[in-house]
Structure 1
């Protein structure tokens, strides 16, 4: 396994009727939460994965643009000075297209696909989920018993993926699931110690998700 990915996301979770903080934390340590996060993060990775770092090395560089009407669609200014021509033929300021490809892997004009920096099969290694609440009760028991059924809750999620390209498809990997309560930033952006929980899930994830070039 040669490459890992760390992702952070803010997720909205609607608690079922009758739910308490304690039962929500149990959800965050369950296989269903892993499945939900996988469905959530894979499309985002495919859409926002940057191009490989040397993507522009073989592109044609021009000291001046022959066609004064060429426009860089990244900054919307005319490309009159030094420019770079992509394999698809579209012209950009080198600084503009460089910044673009550090976030995405396609031409901004025609969606020409560069090789992605992140590709292959990945398995979830760890999910840290923090339930964000405006008010934190003074004791662990009161906090866990707090009713949140029907509420749309904000969850700060940190996911660690490990690359598994070298291993057989569907090989299982242990997955660590941590759950905690975090005070809202309006109060104090720290984890409430009375309800912080760390648990190694007995479930395992399979290396079956592939991010294609």
Structure 2
């Protein structure tokens, strides 16, 4: 394979990874559902090689599981993982927020400002799914603004697992708009360069989400 072919294959694998990851996170592919490589190659528009590379990454993310001679399946959603995931997020998300504030949002500052405007313009008529997608996007922006690829990789993976759990209980959770609006002071603290406030608000956000989920379990 030439260097150009390798770059193109990697790009296609990234595309397949993002599309399938989002479907798994939003439960468009239900927990336990078999993964059909033939169907996904047609739906995503990539060949078998980049698709299989994407599936390997998704298995590392704990979003799919593979069994010899049985195939690949969407991972189950285990509610008992909540406590451990929350503990890790409570340690790392405030760190990411503090680092993001240290650079005033860095290369993601414009995207954060746009997200602030989008949250402020919410009409209250948005679907729960749309709000969940917005929540996931904001978290990815904040972790990206931290400027640490290693920290970003861990948090994006954990946020994906938490979002799956959230989707599973979507109809039982309280008003989601309030949860989304919690991001406003956090994003503003990052843009203002207020490291201590960004860290504090990020920690409160993780704890509040955990409390809301536990209240309906």
Q: Which of the five TM-score ranges fits, normalised by the shorter chain?
A: under 0.3
Normalising by structure 2, what TM-score? 0.25
Q: Which of the pair has the greater relative contact order for Cα pairs under 8 Å at 6+ separation?
A: 1
Larger Rg: 1
Q: Provide TM-score, normalisation by structure 1.
A: 0.25
